[in-house]
Structure 1
């Protein structure tokens, strides 16, 4: 188990005797480890304080201190997903204690004199973040939003891996840009969804309100100027052309409201969405690819959803941690 996951359990008094011994051994390995432990322990205690002398706005300072401390433990020159996830264990628990609404991690990474802030939605969970200009972003499961500490009114640019819904603060003179894969989405104030999961066949941009221009990230070639209730699909296969079509944009972005709409999709398509929704990996065997499904996932558990599918199309399934196997009967 990674040390930061152990630390989160240690501070929350949920660690077993063996796990406590592992933490104690790690502390004895070096003076830096002990110093780090004491700093995180102090911040943890501050985060749990409820007395009147502890003013609520200070919670954000505590959060920044914890995350900033984690960032300094192993400085890197470029963004590393594995580095981010090493710290998720402790940061998620601290976030819950100090009032951050969802288990997400802000991670600072060195980059040529600037700091890159990364917001991570762990697998099977969602996250929300407000950017410095007031722009609000929802992140779907397993997604990462990256932006520079230089983000400002004059430089409103972010990078997205996975899926995000953006409600952008209007500023006609300073465009807001999302870089996702080979696509650049350019807006001045609007709400839209970007689905850039790389296990899909294409990247999709769906517009709810305002105006959006979708361009090639490498050449700035215009792919589409979009109007509300339109969706542009940009295939990852370079041999296929982008397509612009009308859609129910609100339905496409229902995931941000805790609902996942499935309309006339095959079992492989349903399984792919369930993988993101629940943070699991689904293997399909002997399936009927001609069968279509219509359903809405709200608060149903993974097992409940599998039972619903079983009622529609008889299946056998097994769940082993994050591994799920489905076969048609």
Structure 2
């Protein structure tokens, strides 16, 4: 008869002594990690939270092992890892005393639905960055939240956050929100501190438009209800009444909206087709290098100082402006009331 001897390394022997509870639960008939958590990455994160030393021996992680509700209730903090991003939160509500959850999506997977979080009222710190989240309704009752980071998602409305009056920090950069009025009463917003509230790079893609008189508009409201003014490169377009933008150049264009504290920055992106236009807004850019056109009579006397201008230089913009201005001035001369003193006049 041949007798075998199993030798354990000091580290492995220590592990066996460290968690006798696991040996007991292995023999119990119960629900396994993989049954409780359909997403294997979530199951893996929960397993390592209960048995952190298994990170030294990943081959010993056993998601088929049973786990009790009592064990899950001991977990206070949970985080995924870049190589195992959580993609499905189903079952996470079993962590009834969870206070901190950190998940960050990548090419390996991203979270889309927050419904499993709806009953987790013990949560105080929640980070869900770079995911595919759109609907924040499940967070509406999580009134113990103190910090919330939802940067780089697909959020268009923050209405669900208006009752989270314990929020001390809120980050919403990289979404598609244009109305921040529901956030006015939150401590994070009232602090007027970019370290506590930040909503940069809200990017909205508008439908294609033309340079032939069509205007574009994006209304962005601060938490206080003020409308943020549009800013656009003057060579590309002009801001008109009602915060609308008329495009002067074809191509992929962008309007920027920035509040005075630089806590909110939004962009309207739009593809513009049509011909390049020249307007008063373009001419005003180089106002120091322009001269108004004067209309004189035959005696050289000034009849009218016209609003049309001539721009100095040989640039394409100057040539376009000057050509349009001369045509406009000549048209106005032809419309003057006939007068002997104005015959055979000129413009300069």
After TM superposition, the score normalised by the length of structure 1 is 0.30
Higher share of residues assigned strand: 1
Higher share of residues assigned helix: 1
**Rg larger for:** 2
